[in-house]
Amino acid sequence: MEGDEYILKATDLHKSFGGGAAREHVLRGLDLRVRRGEFLAVMGPSGCGKSTLLHILGLMAGPNEGTIIIDGLDTTGLGERGRAELRREKIGFVFQRFNLISVLSGYDNIALSLRIRGLDSGGTDELLRAMGVADVARKKPSQMSIGQQQRLAVARAIAHKPDILLADEPTGSLDSDNAQTLLELLASANRQDGQTIVMITHSPAVAEVATRVVYMKDGRILDENP
């Protein structure tokens, strides 16, 4: 629905784990709107529900209550197959722990991701050069530095040009130099390619790269300035 200003809408999200006296409420009526082409940072302390929110926005988990609308589609009634198809088509993920396939080369990690989506790998070499990992593309992740693995993970996430990129503490495992490089890559994807990005972080310095910042505490958005 290209006419809609918001590509992602979350309304009245509730999520809890466990039961009885051990029940833990993680999200408590959370609302969030993300505009097309926006780079949004979600900040908050550890344990406030940031990662749970990101997994729900990415359809990797479901809320107990509430709705997620992605590009005009209400995902409430989708089954697992429908959610998986929407993830493949619309969403890319950058995880703190990379989640690269250890037995495949860097190039093949990206090629497999594209093949799953019915796409060819024609532009992979160019993307690897842009990410600064072309020289290690034929190596396996274990033969790469942490920074190279993270840049490869970003390349894999954006190779299919997803409408939404979700990044979970993407600099958490990196030193300051590699963290800065990664943030510049994300900012470039946002500015030059119009990539919509939602990044969670607890670091004000990391959040500075975003075009908007919201704050979470105890499972709610405390401040969402337009």
Q: What is the mean pLDDT of the chain?
A: 89
Confidence band of 3 (pLDDT split at 50, 70, 90): low
3-class DSSP state for residue 71? coil
Q: And the tokens for 152?
A: 């490869």
Residue 226 has pLDDT above 60, yes or no: no
> For 128-168, what is each residue's pLDDT tens digit?
888 888 999 999 999 999 888 988 988 898 888 889 999 99
3-class DSSP state for residue 124? helix
Q: Report the alpha-carbon distance of residue 195 to residue 71 in Å, rounded.
A: 14
Q: Report the alpha-carbon distance of residue 43 to residue 199 in Å, rounded.
A: 9
3-class DSSP state for residue 142? helix
Q: Which domains does the chain have, with CATH numbers?
A: 6-223 (3.40.50.300)
Answer yes or no: are the C-beta atoms of 220 and 28 closer than 8 Å: yes
3-class DSSP state for residue 74? strand
The position carrying tokens 């940072």 is 41
> For 51-110, what is each residue's pLDDT tens digit?
999 999 999 998 999 999 999 999 988 888 999 999 888 999 888 778 899 999 999 999
Answer yes or no: are the C-beta atoms of 164 and 145 closer than 8 Å: no
Chain centroid offset of residue 196 CA? 10
pTM of the model: 0.88
